Structure 1
């Protein structure tokens, strides 16, 4: 919200900050493709999108890290027993990797004739999807940490049935 307010009141500040942040964002394949495309179709929105994207990624990383540390160091009273750990890990990993690829690897705009419209692919819709995907990624990572903290594999002795007393 503060970046949007700053953009509305003093857009020149974002124009000054954005090129420095752009060097950090273009390392990621998604932004390497999206920022030049946005500059071609919506040049007035590049600084805003660059600052919003950088601050959203930074905020999500800090929030996820702090919440994960809180989960790790808090006491949990219940444990979850999982018989097939590989299946759970595969499903969880697929979910987290999907959102990692959507936020860092796969560009979002629909490129082509419809992409230069004011609705599809502008900084506002791209930011909306980035917020959505970053929230899902943060939740996925936090839930993975919580699951890893609470998971318990059944002991083999618990599964062995005793048939005789000797």
Structure 2
């Protein structure tokens, strides 16, 4: 993609829902994707939100996927959260994984149910837990405790324990 316009960027994203897994991702594709990311940082367009959220392929996009969040920071939670709630329930693992990380920047009660559901996805656990802690709803404690019981990963257990402690009403501690 030599010259990026809003239409060409949206068209590329619409054709890549999601991007190919890293093992199939060409250099040309990820370079174009990164150019589109930069374009939408400089030229915010609300139409890009659902397309970017659902574009994450399996893997790290050679370091580019972690930078996509910078596009969303330019928008209000009202613009992002409804689309993020849908992306958190995507059938695509890469979309769920990266969206769970982005959810930490948009702590909103409307994401609670989708984040609780992600506690069953071992790859998303630490991000979903942190986002839930930031939302601050103590009603999620039982789901966090159940996750703690079935999780053996030391890092995840620490994140979950910290979240439970932060969410527990002061009178119970």
Mark yes or no: TM-score above 0.5: no
Higher relative contact order (CA 8 A, sep 6+): 1
* TM-score bracket for this pair, using the shorter chain length: under 0.3
TM-score by length of 2: 0.22
Computing the radius of gyration from Cα coordinates, the structure with the larger value is 1
